Structure 1
């Protein structure tokens, strides 16, 4: 069984600024609940590319995520490659409304490994990712 979540925020910053934070793993601990970020190859302060794997630490939890699609200033798509999911594909969509700034939609489709844990994961991920998207929006405005 698959589950989804979707959270949104608006940033006063342009999409280029928001996108720049997304593709640099080193910025994530500055605007999210993530404690530390690394990349398998390269410097986390440099922009990553599709195919790159990033390692995030939050408390004792470690997450390996591979970037699978990038559309400059519009879309950032990744997959979790370890952890409690049979599959997990997340997406951050950026749109510039007429009044300016950036509308950010962070969503995912996932299937947990542990049967019957989907509703709990959806609840947890919705709360966690709401903090992510709101932090990203604020960081881009301040940057």
Structure 2
């Protein structure tokens, strides 16, 4: 049975600035709890992602292999998670211009764990983890758009 989570954040940065960070796996450890980012096959993690790229993120002993599934410039970034704890996992990051300026970020996922009975836990845990990521993305993008590093 699939489970879902959805988190929200707001950035003072414009959608193109937020999307630019999502495209570059090498930036993810700068604004999230992730420790390291690589591209499978040894590509440059700071190069803009393309559909089909597989990003490899490391956090402590955990390794996550995440293929890029869909890109809609300045609007949507979609990725999966393969070879891990999930039978299926699809995350969607939607960016929308905010009426008050900046960008509204909606980060959601549908997941089905391999181990039956753990879906509710994983949706709860990943929802909390991804909220930290969304908040970090929003802050980092806003700081970069104002010249702060």
Give the TM-score taking structure 2 as reference length.
0.94
What does 1:1-143 correspond to in 2, within 5 Å? 1-41=1-41, 42-143=43-144
Moved runs in structure 1, 4+ residues, more than 3 A? none
RMSD of aligned alpha carbons:
0.7
Q: 2 CA distance for matches of 1:13 and 1:99? A: 11
Q: Report the alpha carbon displacement of residue 46 of structure 1 after superposing the two structures with TM.
A: 1.0
Q: 1 CA distance for matches of 2:46 and 2:105? A: 22
Gaps (5+ residues) in structure 2? 145-149
**What do residues 78-133 of structure 1 show as CA deviations (whole Å, max 9, x unaligned)?**
01012100000001000002221000000000100001001110110011000000
Equivalent residue of 1:100, what SS? coil
**What do residues 54-81 of structure 1 show as CA deviations (whole Å, max 9, x unaligned)?**
0000110000000010000000000101
Q: 2 CA distance for matches of 1:82 and 1:133? A: 24
Gaps (5+ residues) in structure 1? none
Equivalent residue of 2:136, what SS? helix
Q: 2 CA distance for matches of 1:28 and 1:78? A: 14
Q: 2 CA distance for matches of 1:6 and 1:142? A: 24
Q: 1 CA distance for matches of 2:121 and 2:80? A: 20
Give the TM-score taking structure 1 as reference length.
0.98
